[in-house]
Amino acid sequence: MAKVERVSYFMADLDDKPGVLLKILQSLKAKNISLAGLWGFGTHGGKATLFVIARNPDKLRKAWSAGLLAQEGTGFFVTGADRTGALIATLKALAEKGVNIHAIDAVAVGGRFGSFIWVKAEDVERAGQALKA
């Protein structure tokens, strides 16, 4: 199985307009907050959702305490060598424990892959056991 790490993710609701993400990332850089992951997408009604994984979650919590933080949760960061079927053992371990995947992202670059798996809050502990994370 690939390497799996249990991590905190943070969600923010934003306006879906030019420059909003840039301002957030500039603010994080000014506060020396390094990210390990970033996902964002437009939702509806001129709004967008941003998900981030900070290398230092406590630092981000403090920086976003002024209202930007909409939600915090736990997910699983999966990494390994890029090969056909690289995620199968991970997915099988979750399925065998009866854990439903709420969402997943994955990308492969330079012979390595990375994936982020979201499960429902009530499934985090079972998922952690299944993935040994």
Full set of structural domains in the chain with CATH? 9-72 (3.30.70.260), 74-131 (3.30.70.260)
pLDDT at 4 over 70: yes
pTM for the model stands at: 0.88
pLDDT at 132 over 70: yes
Short-list 133, 131, 86, CA closest to 107: 86
Structure confidence at residue 1 as a pLDDT band (50, 70, 90): low
pLDDT at 19 over 90: yes
pLDDT at 72: 92
What gap in Å lies between CA 35 and CA 57, rounded to an integer?
9
The mean per-residue pLDDT over the stretch 36-47 comes to 94
